[in-house]
Chain A
Amino acid sequence: MGDWWTPPMMPDPGLGIREFSSVSHIDESPSRHRSPPATRASETNSKHSYSVLTAFCTEENIPQCVAYVNQEAAALGLCGVCVEARGAGPSLGAASALNLLYELLQLQRRGQRTLHDLETQQLKNNSDLEHLQHNNSRLKDQLEHTRRENSGLHEGERQLQLKIRTLQRYLKSEKEEVQKLQSIIASRATQYNHDAKRKERESAKLKERLNQLLVDKRDKRLAIEVANCVGRADGKRSLWKTSKMEARHEGEMYKALLSDYEGRHQVLLQENAELKKLLQLMKKDMVSMLSPRKTTRAHMPAEDSLEQAGSEPDDELCEGSRDPLEQMCEQAREQLANSIRLQWRRLKSHMQRLDSQVSLAASREQEEVISRREHEEAITHMKMELQQCTEFIQTQQQLLQQQLSLPCDEETAALLNDGYLLEEKERLKEEWSLFHEQKKNFEMERKNFTEAAIRLGHERKAFEEDRALWLKTQFLNMAPFVGHRRHATSESRRALTIGAQSGAKVPSSPALSCTSASHTGLSTPTSDPMTLPSTAELYRTLQLIPDSRSQGRCASNSFQSGATMTKSQLRDSCTDCSIFSVVRDGNSAS
């Protein structure tokens, strides 16, 4: 709605019109045309120039307008304004008009939105275009550049090719030259050789000639002047050159050669023998080295068959190659070499296996060794510790004895006492609680006792009353002399009760004694066979309590004595205990 209303509110109405008119040219023009009548009332009210300009609908041409609008709406595919042409004239259906208006508005808004979108699209496209143009120009530049480069490279290539061509030409010429030179050299060499030979021949000829001349000329000067001939160095006479001499020379020469060869042969033999000896020694060593292994390895299931197979003929080879030096034949040598090779192979494999084993077991063995060593070390360490501990204990004992024998310095005593005191406190606490319990028990017992006593008192009172009653009745019924006999029985009875009481009660409370006194006081007059069962009852009831009480007291007594004993011996025993514990610690440690 707002979108629509803004153009009219713009300060320049012309712009609005223009826009309106320009928009109206587009496909949505009918809806726009139709909208003015819808807003007409308000427009007229606001006296807008707009309404004045576009006098599309007046009072007179309403039906036409409506028809027109209908037509337009139909063209647009909307329901018309529903003009009913009945009656006086065409009337405008308000609802349909509004609907139409609404639809038009919707259309308008949609149009506006699409317009906006299109505008932004336009902008985007513009910028894209610009970008593309830019890109295009850049690419063009690049293309130009590469073209230039390409042409440059082409030029370079051309030049290089030219150069190559010239170089090839040069090379060809050089090669030709080389060939020429080589041929020249060859020809020169042949020429030179030829010349040299010729010259040499010439010189030889000349020499020959010179020789001939010298021989022919009989050079007078060519002579030897010796005062007297000297003998040969070996003192022998010189011998005539004869065929025998020649043969002798040959023989000597061959002898010399033979002796040389023999000498060399001897040297080689010696060397060979030494080498063989060495080989034998090596073999023997190898055999001795490998044989114990063989026995051990026989147990091993993992055994390569090749070696086993090889080891069998080896033994006979050992026999066979016992005296290869004497045999000196090819076979023996081969045998020896074979056996050596075999042994060597075995040794090598053995070494490899050993190596692998060593590498494998190295870590494990090392660990074992370490553990054993550690074990030993630990043992020695522990032994040392033990010794230290025993020493420590001894010194402690000594110290303690010293302390016991004479009160040593305060501090240690205080320190020691602290520990003891704590222990004592604990013990006392325990005892305290025990005592408390006992006390409670005692209290309970006392309460029971007092209750029993009260009950007894009541019973006695009742009994006394009964007796009094009975006595009264008796007294009333019988003679007055019966009285003193009764007194005696009451006396004995009183003594009995007292004894019982004294035996029963150690912490005899004054109340009880009072009651007993009151009892006695009361019971003195009572002496009656009828009362006997009641007293027996009383005893029974009394004895029940004293039984338990005596037991408890006994226990407590023994306990008390024990406690006192411990109290008296506390220091001693405590120290002893501590020592023992320490000793036990030491034992356990060891």
Chain B
Amino acid sequence: MNFSEVFKQSNQLCKVSPDGKYLATCVQYRLVVRDVNTLQILQLYTCLDQVASMEWSSDSLFILCAMYKRGLVQVWSLEQPDWHCKIDEGSIGLVSSRWSPDGRHILNTTEFHLRVTVWSLCNKSVSYIKYPKACQKGMDFSADGRYMALAERRDCKDYISVFVCDDWHLLRHFETDTQDLAGVEWSPNGCVLAAWDSCLEYKMLLYSLDGRLLSTYSAYEWSLGIKSVAWSPSSQFLAIGSYDEKVRILNHITWKKLTEFEHHPTITNSKAVVFKEVEKRPVIPTEDLSIQQIAMESSLFDIQSKYEIPPLPVQVPVVKPDPDRANPKIGISAIAFSVDNRYLATKNDCMPQSVWVWDMQRLGPTAVLEQTAPVRFFAWDPRRPRLALCTGNTKLYLWSPAGCVSVKVPVEGGFQVQSLFWHCSGDSVVLLGKDQLCLCYMATDEEK
């Protein structure tokens, strides 16, 4: 495992192009495009203000930089550095900007979710979509980029509009039986749309592409409901994480519950391997304290850690949530399927230090990673069943069916990994610190 040198970045704005060739980073108001392999700067663009959001177009030719404060969007072309495009949303303001899947349109959501403005780069045309709903995930594009589902709110009722992305033709528009629609998500095959209610009510609605209601699923009533949703890459399973600390798996034929994964604080299942991170602080002699303050400080951060497999049963540390506060720290906040549909990684908010990995063949837990610090983020390798996670310290953690490793990022001064994402080839991971970034290259099989 190798690490690149550290680069600067701001707002954790760092993206690899969809074709995997370029790495774009924003540093204040500058946009830097590098070659992923050589890390040489290919292009340098200067934006009008500090960039708040940045995105590659699907064909890796354009980069969108949004400056929400100023209601501005700037688009840069990689092929033609001279080419420029600026979209001003004017006085109405801007809260979100994103590419359409074809990479020729930009969808801007105005303030107050007044409308969605669709700007075309082909003919400078502008079109509006009214009544978008401000919610958890109000807009989703199908995986093939043909359709867009948009949650709408009209006359105190929830609607879903399905647009054809080609020409923004409204294909379907239907009302949903929800109190407060919280999100929509297409299945990976683009034929089923999952729509779920807000956390006040457990309700999952499944619509066909043509707007037919396929099924409704509700696990319970009178309690906080759905917190997170994830489709398996094969569209076979729909995992629903809820506030009752369970993940329910629906199947794609009957849309009934296949199984449910409970996150018990005591792990007794012998099939589940618990990886417990153990830290070892190096012993520092007290005499050195006054003499070499700085040198020692660096060594202070030099904490060794390794995984241990404690004998069952294992007690997973649980944080008791405050019931009086909104958005309680409880329930499944993150779900992700591995690319081969084999594993499911979940995180329960009241067990912030643990990531659970479930085997979808056995329909049971296969590993529990117990970290010393709360898990910030985890992501699956886009090619292999390999999970990378970070806890805001100087280490990168990797889980695979073979086992678990923790790797310290060998950067001077300490590189605290706040977030990470995989390169699309699965050969490297981009680690994002507070204002730095670093590439971690995985040892490929050929090298081994």
Taking beta carbons and an 8 Å cutoff, which residues of A are in contact with B? Answer: 196-197, 200-201, 203-204, 207, 210-211, 214, 219-234, 238-239, 241, 245-246, 249-250, 252-254, 256-257, 260
Contact = CB atoms under 8 A, between A and B. Distances in A.
B92 A210 contact: yes
B85 A223 contact: no
B191 A256 contact: yes
Interface string B192-232: 00000000000000001110000000000000000000000
Given A221-B88, A222-B88, A249-B171, A227 B156 contact: no
A223 B91 CA distance: 11
A249 B77 CA distance: 31
Contacts of B191: 256-257, 260
Contact of A200 (B114, B126, B153): B153
19 contacts: A200-B153, A204-B154, A214-B92, A219-B90, A219-B92, A221-B88, A221-B90, A222-B92, A223-B87, A224-B85, A224-B88, A225-B87, A229-B123, A231-B122, A233-B58, A246-B169, A249-B164, A249-B169, A260-B189
Contact of A229 (B58, B122, B208): B122
Nearest to B212: A257
Contacts of A223: 87-88, 90
Contacts of B83: 227-228, 230
B147 to A, nearest CB: 8
A253 B146 CA distance: 9
Contacts of A203: 112
A318 to B, nearest CB: 32
Contacts of A254: 210
Given A207-B112, A233-B103, A245-B169, A224 B126 contact: yes
Contacts of B164: 249, 252-253
B130 interface: yes
A224 B169 contact: no
A214 B111 CA distance: 13
B169 A225 contact: no
Interface string B102-124: 11100000001011000111111
Contacts of B58: 233
B104 A232 contact: yes
Nearest to A230: B121
With most chain B CB atoms within 10 A of its CB, the pick from A229, A230, A250 is: A230
Nearest to A210: B114
Contact of B171 (A226, A234, A250): A250
Contacts of B130: 211
Contacts of A229: 121-124
Contact of A222 (B89, B146, B156): B89
B84 interface: yes
Interface in B171-194: 171, 189-191
Given A201-B156, A224-B124, A229-B122, A253 B92 contact: no
Q: Can you list the 10 inter-chain pairs with the closest CB atoms, starting with the nearest?
A: A222-B90, A219-B90, A221-B90, A260-B191, A225-B86, A226-B85, A221-B88, A197-B156, A224-B87, A227-B83
Contact of B146 (A201, A228, A256): A256
A196 B88 CA distance: 33
Interface residues of B, number: 47
B322 interface: no
Contacts of A210: 92, 112, 114
Interface in B34-80: 58-59, 71, 77
Contacts of B166: 249
A219 B91 contact: yes
Contact of B104 (A197, A220, A230, A246): A230
B431 to A, nearest CB: 31
B126 to A, nearest CB: 7
B156 A200 contact: yes
A209 to B, nearest CB: 10
A217 B401 CA distance: 61
A74 B166 CA distance: 156
A256 B87 CA distance: 34
Given A214-B91, A224-B85, A227-B83, 11 more contacts: A203-B112, A219-B90, A224-B88, A225-B85, A232-B122, A238-B120, A249-B164, A253-B209, A256-B191, A257-B208, A260-B190
Contact of B123 (A207, A238, A257): A238
Contacts of B324: none
Contacts of B119: 224
Nearest to B84: A227
A233 B90 contact: no
A249 B126 CA distance: 21
A196 B198 CA distance: 15
A38 B217 CA distance: 129
A227 B85 contact: yes
Nearest to B120: A238
B102 A232 contact: yes
B445 interface: no
B167 interface: yes
A231 B114 CA distance: 29
A228 B84 CA distance: 8
A246 B104 CA distance: 21
Given A229-B121, A229-B124, A241-B167, A253 B210 contact: yes
A482 to B, nearest CB: 153
A253 B212 CA distance: 13
A185 to B, nearest CB: 13
B209 A257 contact: yes
B150 to A, nearest CB: 16
B82 interface: yes
Nearest to B88: A221
A227 B82 contact: yes
Contacts of B82: 227
Contacts of B189: 260
B377 to A, nearest CB: 31
A234 B92 CA distance: 33
In this complex, which of A200, A229, A234, A253 has the most chain B Cβ atoms within 10 angstroms of its Cβ? Answer: A253
Contacts of B131: 204
A211 B121 contact: no
Nearest to A221: B90
Contacts of B122: 229-232, 238
A267 to B, nearest CB: 10
B171 A257 contact: no
A3 to B, nearest CB: 97
Contacts of B121: 226, 229-230
A203 B115 CA distance: 13
A387 to B, nearest CB: 59
Nearest to B77: A230
A160 B82 CA distance: 93
Nearest to B187: A260
A456 to B, nearest CB: 128
Contacts of B77: 230
Contacts of B156: 196-197, 200-201
Contacts of A234: 102
Nearest to A222: B90
Contacts of A222: 88-92
Interface string B130-169: 1100000000000000110000011110000000101101
A211 B85 contact: no
B149 to A, nearest CB: 13
A239 B89 CA distance: 26
A233 B88 contact: no
B19 to A, nearest CB: 13
A250 B164 CA distance: 10
A256 B209 contact: yes
A210 B82 CA distance: 36
A225 B83 CA distance: 11
Nearest to A234: B102
Nearest to B58: A233
A238 B119 CA distance: 14
